[in-house]
Structure 1
């Protein structure tokens, strides 16, 4: 497992991180979740990403139990705040000072740790002054409850404004966590250039496009039984955008490219996002330990220029690139 600096900070993280968005506390039983975390550790993953909203706080608790007993200094534990948790009261979401301060305390309790390495704004809060949010994050850092601050799915302009305030307040905004894959490249035109300028690194989620880039979904064929696409409670809505014959045919054209490169389809997809020098880590998820083992083999892979071109030739016509998608997909008001 290779490690990269997170933005221009001195923090090194494993270039493949383990995340538990749609798995721990919801899709898979705890024994399976613990086995996946153990496999991640055995494969050299040191970076673990979660959020308080995942399975309404249950995912944090599962991860805390899974990592209990590990040397804390050898891990990088990330979590997030914004989406509703608890019963959904008026202050149970957003980036107000109240919600941030209460949420970090709850996350630390569930994760069984005194601090997180990275605390992330899970979306931009249109109802809270950015100055209030960033002051609260500054105080979280000064209290020792988080070492660094990041954001997730913010636009380039929002990132610039947040970074400017963090500099004024004396702490580092060092990361952005967007969706990014061969099929979803909306960060390339605006977010990545802004982050390169500001010294912010990307921790990307869904590098295999919710499993579509594994090649298991075939054009004109029924959805595989037990797959994420058939799970109405844990991912079917997120993957549905890719489940059309045009996209699936393009993805199938990647199979000979992966074979020639000596990689599985999932390894090719993860390796592709890691070719972007602004990417500090790619987050993988798993419901079985063998999926972790397969994905981590993408670490350290360097794809030749002709391979990158072949990938673009195969899927370029179905890629989503519009940078306005980030703003359009964001909540217009604080969710409840």
Structure 2
């Protein structure tokens, strides 16, 4: 005997594999949109011809990409190999209800991974196995789910004292999205016990919004000039469609920045405000060695360099070329990490200063 299938129009066809092929699945596919890292709830409308979503045990299967529901292959009869991994804390999702409802509210928790997915429904008592245990049991197409947000990155880089722009890829990013930079080690992106945004003051623009999309479909966020080397935490707010029907402007509260994007590393030598001194070669033969301990982050030995120039009230860093007659060799000076402590050191020979 073939199990009844609520909402299906037409006569089911029994396949040789023992599965039930539904010519018309009954549910009107709906497009859902959620945000990575934020609570996601969807409303499943009743199937055509039934007026209600059946009561009792039921489940919702989230499958990666655009696909059909209800497998008929031998490989997929005994397990759920198509359940998308990494997107939800558990998959399938419990969609049970003690009573039949015209609309079933199902909580997906907080999606972990951005992307596009297909939603397939199983009403337990009407499934082929009776327990929503097989891939073929999830034959009713509910619709598609888009989880918005940037792809999580391990690390993004900027250089201290220069303009810091971050390039992000993701799913349905928008000009209305914002990014927040917080001090590393300051906890999760949103902590209700903390007051305010906890935004780092080491960036000229923070939080930063109104990103621009480039020809590679990256979204560029401008943080302005960075003033301190080190590692920072990146938190993201997906602005548009965040609150359907709401008149409130998105990304205006700390609770809006729920998505962890990754780590921002600001590299380079740090301005410590210290003064250094070295001894000039008494013979003017350039053989008096000078080593200056400096502070920095994520330096690249021998590739990173520092330019030494005469002290002047009219010029500043970035405005002059190396002075060949200044008595320092080489100039610019490569950064060395050869000392035993691992701290960066500038080593050069100082000759006579003209």
**Fold conserved between structures, TM > 0.5:** no
Q: Which has the higher contact order (CA 8 A, sep 6+)?
A: 1
* Greater helix share, structure number: 1
Shorter chain as denominator, the TM-score bin is under 0.3
- With the length of structure 2 as denominator, give the TM-score of the two structures: 0.22
* Greater strand share, structure number: 2
